[in-house]
Amino acid sequence: MKLRRSIFLAVLLIFVTTFAITYCNHRVDEEEPVETLNPTEDTSAFVNLTDVVPDAILEIRYFSTYNFVGERIRGYEEPTALITREAADSLQAVSQEVMKLGYRLKVFDAYRPQMAVDHFVEWVGRENDTKMKPYFYPDLEKNVLIPQVYIADKSGHTRGSTIDLTLFDMNTEKEVDMGGTFDWFGPESHPDFCGNPETGEYTGEKVKSSRTITPEQFANRMILRKAMTNHGFQPEPTEWWHFRLKNEPFPDTYFTFPVKRLPAK
C-alpha cells in the first residue's frame, strides 16, 4: 500500500510540475513576446524629410564631427534626413502648428542606419577616446554609457519613424533655449527634469543633478512636446528632443541603407 501511494504521489508531482512549467512558459510568451528583427535595405517606404516638410532646418549632427563621438558617424553619407512617409506627413502637421507660433522645426537626426548604431557601440569600447566628454557627458565615465542605456545596440531611429529635433525661433533667428544641448547624457535631458511634462507645470524639482533649468526653458520644451504629441508622436522619457511615431509602420524592422538623399519619386 505504501509503495502504491509513493508511486501515485510521484506521478502526481511530475504531472503538476509539467503543467506549471507549460503554463508559465505560455504566460511568458503572451506577455513578453520575443522581438522579431528584420534587417533590410529597402528604401521604398522612405522620403526625404525636406521634400514633405520644406520649412524644416537640418543640422545632421552625425554627418559632422560635432557629436558625442567627435567624428562623422558611419552610414551618414550626406547631411540629409530620411524618414518614413507616415512620420513625414505627421511632421508636416507639426511644422504647420509651430510656424503659427513663430517657430520652425530644426532636425538633428531622423532615420539612423544600423551601421551607425554599431559605430556608437564600437566607440564606447575605445576607452581613451573621450575628446567630447566635456561637451556631452562631463558627469559620467564612458564605461557607464551602455549599462545606463545611453548607448544601446538597437535604436528606434533605425526603424525609420523616430526623430530628434528642436525649435528655431524665426524672430531671434536662433534655436529656442531648451536648457540643454541635443545628446547631453544626464538627467537634465529628461522631460520631467524640473517639471511635470504631463501637466506642463514647472516645479524646479531636479534629481541627481547640481544643475537646473529655468521656467522659461521648461516651457519651451513643453511647446515642442505638445506640438509633437498633438500629431501622433510619443515622447521619450529620457530625452526632451526624441519622439517616435506611435503608429510606426515598421515596428519590427531595422533598416541598413546609408543616409543619403533619395531619388525623387
Active-site positions read: 239
Tell me which residue of 52, 42, 110 sits closest to 76, measured CA to CA: 110
Numbers of helices and strands, H then E, in the chain: 6, 10
| Cα separation, 48 vs 137, whole angstroms | 31
Cell numbers 509651430 correspond to 98
d(CA 200, CA 187) in angstroms, rounded, equals: 18
Q: What angle do CA 139, 145, 150 make, to 5 degrees?
A: 100
Amino acid identity, position 215: P
Reading phi first (left if > 0) and then psi (alpha if -120 to 50, else beta), residue 173 is in left
CA-CA distance, 82 to 155, in Å (whole number)?
15
> 89: how many CB neighbours lie within 10 A of its CB?
16
- Residues 235 and 257: their CA atoms lie apart, in Å, by 26
Phi-psi region of 28 (alpha: psi -120 to 50; beta: other; left: phi over 0): alpha
